[in-house]
Each structure stands twice: as C-alpha cells, then as structure tokens.
Amino acid sequence: MPHNIPLLTDLLILLLAALPIAFLCHRMRLPVIVGFMLTGIVIGPSGAALIRDTHDVEILAEIGVVLLLFTIGLEFSLQRMVEMKRLVLVGGGLQVALTVLLVFGLAYAFGRSFSQSVFFGFLFALSSTAIVLKSYMDRAEVETPHGKAGVGVLLFQDLCIVPMMLLTPVLSGKEGSDPLQIALTLGKALLAIVAIILTARFVVPFLLERIVKLRSPEIFIVFVVLVSLGTAAVTAQFGLSLALGAFIAGLVLSESEYSHQIVSDVLPFRDVFNSLFFISIGMLLSLNALISGLTTVLLLLAALVVGKALIVLAVALLLGNSLRVATMIGLGLAQVGEFSFILAKVGAGQGLISDGDYQQFLAASILSMILTPFLIKAAPRAGYALQTLVSPTFKEDFPDESLHSTGAQKGHVVIVGYGMNGRNLAKVLSRTSIPHTVLELNAENVRKGKTDGAPIHYGDATRREILLHAGLASARILVIAISDLLATRRIVAQAREMNPDLNIIVRTRYMSELDDLYSLGANQVIPEEFETSIEIFSRVLREYGIGRNLIEREEQEIRREGYKVLRSSSLPLAEFSVVAEAFGAVSSEAVFIDEHWPAVGKTLADLDLRHRAGVTVIAAVCDNNTQINLGPEFTIRANDILVLLGTPEQVEQALEILSGESSAG
C-alpha cells in the first residue's frame, strides 16, 4: 500500500516549480530571491493552488531563517558588535521611533483610532532581516559601511519584537494589559539573552572541543545544528524572535577556532531551507486582494518604500554617514519585515486591524520584499546621483576643515580606508617618515585614527572634491583598502582621470574583480584570496626544503601571468620533486660541544670531518656570535655550537667523532 506523505509531496512541488523559475531569473539577471518569491505566488493558495496548506512549509522556512542568522553571526564577533553599539542602539532606536511616529500621525489623520495608529506604526517599523542580509551576502556587501549600518538597525528591530508583541494586547484593551506582567516578561527575555550568551560563551565551546576529539563529522554537524536550532527555540519561548537567538549563538561561536568549519557544514542546510522561506513569503500573497484593491495597494507600497527610505536616510545622516551611503542604507531597509506578518496576525485576533486592511497590508508588504533586491542593486547609482544633485547645497563633505590643507602636499600617499590594512600601512609610513593622508567614512574609525595620531580625515573618497582636497592631483600613490567594491571601482576610475601618473594600488577580496579594476586604471590589484594562496604554497615549499630563490621565482611567475592562480608552473614538476628529494635526504643539526669532549682545542683540519664522516661544518656559534664560511684553521672551543650538514647517518658519525664515542668503541 503506497504511503502518502503530504509534506514530502509539497516539497517536491516546491522544488520542481522553483528550479525553472529560478533558472529563468538567473538567465534574465534577476535576483534568485525574486524567483523564489514568484514561485510561491504561482503555486500558492491564490495561484495554481498546488499547495493549499502552507503551515508545514512555513515551519521549514523558519528553520532557513534561523540557519541564515546563525551563519551571519558566525561571520561577526562580539568585539565587532560592541563596536557597532552606536549603530544598533542609536541608529536602530531612532529608525523605529521615527517610523512609528510618522505612521501613527498619518493613520490618525486618516481617521484611525489611537490604538490602531500605534499598531500600524509597529507593523511598518520592522524590515526584512532575511531578505536584506541575503541580498548583502550575495553582493558581498555585509562588510561595507551601508552593510554594517543595515545590520545594526535590523538587530535593534529584532530586539523590539518582544515589547511590540507585549504591547499589542494593551493597545486592544483586552487581556495581557497588566504592567507588572509586561515588565516581568521583558525581564525574562533579557535574562534569556544573558543566559544564551553565557552558555554559548563557556559551555558550548567546552562541549565542542570534546566533540571534535571524537573525529566524527556526523556528530559535529548534529551538534552544530542542535546549537543553532536550540538557541532559537529558547529565545522563542521567551517571546524573542527565532532569528535573534540563532544570531547570538553564532556571534559567540564566531570566536571559536572551529567557526570556519561550522560555516562550511551549515551552508548546505541553510541554502535549502532559506529558499523555502522566500517561497513561503510568496505563498502569503492573495492575488484576489491585490487585484481588487490594486490602486490602494500600490499607493500603500509607494508610501511604504519612499517613507521608510527617507526615514532611514535621515537617521543614517545623523550618524555621520555621507549622503551616498545614507541613500544606500535607506533603500536597503525600505520594506516590511517577515515578523510584521506574525504581528499582524496577532493584531487581527485582537481586533486592531480589519480583514480588508490585513490583506492589503500583506499585499503591499510582499511587493516591497520583492522590490528589495532591485532597490539594493540600484542603491549605489541612486546614491551617487542624489549626492551629485544635492552636492552644491549639501554641507556633508568637509566636517573636518583640516582636510583643506592637505592639497599642499606633493608626492604623498593617499590611503582610502582605516581598517586593519589601512591602519597598518599608515603606521609603517609614519615610522618611515613618508607623507600620507587617510580618508575614512566611518566616524568611529576617524576618532580612533586621530587618537593614534594618524593624519586621518572624514571624507567620502568617491567624491571628486574629497580627492582633490586630499591632494590626489599631486600624490604619488593611492591605496584603496575598503570592502565596498562599487565604491572602489568609482574611486579608481576618478583617480585615474584626475592623475594619469598616479600609482593606484587596490586591495580587493576576490580574484573575479581583477579584470574590472585593471580596466578602470588600477596599477596593482591585491586580491586577498590570491595572496593567501601564495602564502600557503610558499610555506609548503619551504617545508620541503625548496630554496627561497625558487619560491620567489614561482611567486613572480604567477603574478606575471596576471594572477591566473596556479594555472601553470614555470618550474617543471619533475624538477620540484628532484629538489625536494635532495633536500629531504640532507639533514642539518646543531651540536653543542661539551667541555669534556676530545674535540675541544682541535681545528677542523685536525678532525677532518668531511673525509672521515662526509659532513660539512657550515656555521658555528661562539660566545653568542655566529660565524660562517669556516676555514680549516677554525679551532673548536668548549660550549661552541657547530652546525653540521649531511645525511642523518653522516651527522651521527660526525657526532661520535666529536664526542669521542667512536674511538672509545
């Protein structure tokens, strides 16, 4: 008798429908996230109705969000989160407060009650953590200024979920309005966060170390999944979001030496379940509600995207970001979050939102989510365009007036970015008295640089005016050490136009970015992944005794080929093997000369170690002074250290001669 498993059937339908639609989106150069959401619309209850009960799919989708936030947490660190506290608390706090106030005012003006207006503010204050972070990860923008700011605001929004859920019954005037009960629940939620952090910091690493010793990949993966899903479940029990708990667990585990292995093991699960999340979002859209109230939905969508983008942009400017970066942050967060759907359901049950409003809200929210990847893609161009348009009247470029004086320098180095690479370069240039100027967009890094005594200035290096005031026209070298690829490309293009003789050195993350940067005018591009591969093979060759000149020859050959990594080798493999075999057959050993040994007081000519044992004395350490190229007249003294070169057997024989054991035998 055949078994009918509804969930398995639904998964097969999802995958069968998702593959061709995602493939078409990929061929049309559309974000794959959009393809998944369109899949949900097509096969969902209001589309072809291939899947009618979406409950089980939504559960699997939640797992995808949990794993997504867990892996993102692994790529951060507690120290970085502490550094981002201003973005999280100030940036996130201002965004949520201003959004709630603005939506409240509009809703109240249109005749909604006080409680309903506040509740609508809650709904529109949240953004989609999953979609925004997935888009930033796909575009490698998590480490950029707008990526970091977006993450900070999203984290604060996740923290706001608890008080919003608790205040919903209060707004309705129904159950759960006891202030003591609300305070107690908030206290429990905070205790839960502290408990998770402490457990993940002290208990989980202890267990993880013992599981690694078992050398079982299966047990390791099971434990990692248990940690991510378990912490999410604990936070959910205390009213927090699943995603927040998983992020905290990943955040603490990021300091573990096993974090990279954890990421590689979780990625396959994350990507599969995360796809289900985006499909499930599309399933929520009611086509009937969309068609019947199309005008209202589109007006609501426009107000949502424009209003939220402007609010976030204003907050980003208050935090000291340039207009370009603030625009990118605003467009990135101009949508409604997935948790707003849950909040809307609770509000519907409490009578705070009518069924018609609920359907229109869902339609506008899902459309805003579908638009998000496109908005994030268009954000850099929009940022540049707005910055150029407003530049004559907008005074955000020169808060540090000392930047004006740098134009008098000549032959100096201009460094863009004060992260680890920029900071280390600035330190070396200071110690060697080479004149330099640093441009940085992060206000915290600027303050840190000024404390370090670096000639650092706040400024957006994508602006031609900023580069002029940094003296780029008379500079000798420009070093770009930032993580924002789009900004890097623009800086290279402008710098090459402004100074044709400038030596432009660019740090980038991936090999795939080389051709574009060289075509724009960069003289040298240093991709991190390539330099890592150079360092790895250099160390491997050194372990096999390959000479430094041969290693340097290989490095130069690869770089001369234009970073075509290990495509061909200038030194034949046979030659490598012969050299490695020759070095492997030779042993060098440092021998301490005991004062009682008969070799004390004799010369190398007297001992004749080369003929008697076949070894060569290549160096000696006498009274902490190293001597090389020793002649036959060199006299051995007590407490000297001789460095012998030969086969292991020859070195052993020479040791017997020096110590007198051979004659005693």
- List pLDDT tens digits, range 387-404: 878 765 444 444 444 444
Phi, psi of 15 (to 5 degrees): -70, -40
Spell out the residues 6+ positions from residue 142 whose beta carbon is closer than 8 angstroms to its own. 72, 75, 133, 136, 148, 151
Residue 109: how many other CB atoms lie within 10 Å: 9
Confidence band (pLDDT; 50, 70, 90) for 331? Answer: very high
Contacts 24+ apart (CB under 8 A), 305-312: 305/334, 305/335, 305/368, 305/371, 305/375, 306/334, 307/102, 307/103, 307/124, 308/99, 308/124, 308/127, 308/333, 308/334, 308/335, 309/333, 309/334, 311/95, 311/98, 311/99, 311/102, 312/95, 312/153
Q: Whole-number mean pLDDT of the chain? A: 79
Domain spanning 586-664, CATH architecture: 2-Layer Sandwich (3.30)
At 416, which helix (H) or strand (E)? strand 413-416
Distance CA 77, CA 423 (A): 20
pLDDT score for 386: 86
pLDDT score for 95: 93
Write down the pTM of the prediction: 0.66
Q: Look at residue 642 and tell me whether its pLDDT is greater than 80.
A: yes
Is the CA virtual torsion 72, 75, 79, 83 positive or negative?
A: negative
Tokens standing for residue 409: 């320098």
DSSP character string of 428-457: HHHHTT--EEEEES-HHHHHHHHHHT--EE
Tokens standing for residue 535: 């360092």
Q: Where are the beta strands (DSSP E) in 523-638?
A: 524-527, 587-592, 616-622, 625-628
Distance CA 632, CA 630 (A): 7
Mean pLDDT for 90-108 is 92
Phi-psi group of 614: left, alpha or beta (phi > 0 → left; psi -120 to 50 → alpha; rest → beta): left
Q: Look at residue 591 and tell me whether its pLDDT is greater than 80.
A: yes
Distance CA 245, CA 249 (A): 6
pLDDT digits (tens, 9 = 90+) for 282-327: 887 888 888 888 899 999 999 999 999 999 999 999 888 888 889 9
Phi, psi of 174 (to 5 degrees): -100, -150
Pairing state of beta strands 477-480 and 503-508? Answer: parallel
Distance CA 182, CA 163 (A): 8
Beta bridge partners of 497: none
Tokens standing for residue 493: 């293009």
| Domain 6-390 grouped into CATH 1.20.1530.20 | yes
Q: Look at residue 279 and tell me whether its pLDDT is greater than 90.
A: no
Rounded to 10 deg, the angle between the 145-172 and 339-349 helix axes is: 10
* CATH superfamily of the 401-522 domain: NAD(P)-binding Rossmann-like Domain (3.40.50.720)
pLDDT score for 271: 72
Q: Look at residue 101 and tell me whether its pLDDT is greater than 90.
A: yes
Q: Look at residue 206 and tell me whether its pLDDT is greater than 50.
A: yes
Most confident of 68-72, 246-250, 375-379, 652-656: 375-379
- 120 burial class (0-12, 13-18, 19+ CB within 10 angstroms)? buried
96-100, 108-112, 226-230, 546-550: the lowest-pLDDT one: 546-550
Contacts 24+ apart (CB under 8 A), 449-453: 449/418, 449/423, 452/423, 452/426, 452/427
What is the 3-state secondary structure of 96-128?
HHHHHHHHHHHHHHCCCCHHHHHHHHHHHHCCC
pLDDT digits (tens, 9 = 90+) for 430-481: 887 889 999 988 777 888 888 888 898 888 888 888 888 888 988 999 999 8
pLDDT digits (tens, 9 = 90+) for 412-430: 999 998 888 888 888 888 8
Q: Domain ranges in the chain?
A: 6-390, 401-522, 530-583, 586-664
pLDDT score for 547: 57
At 32, which helix (H) or strand (E)? helix 32-43
Mean pLDDT for 203-208 is 80
**Closest Cα partner for 603 from 628, 635, 631?**
635
Percent of the chain with pLDDT strictly greater than 70: 81
pLDDT digits (tens, 9 = 90+) for 11-41: 788 888 888 888 888 787 777 888 888 888 8
Query: What is the CA angle 624-630-634, rounded to 5?
Result: 80
Phi, psi of 601 (to 5 degrees): 90, -5
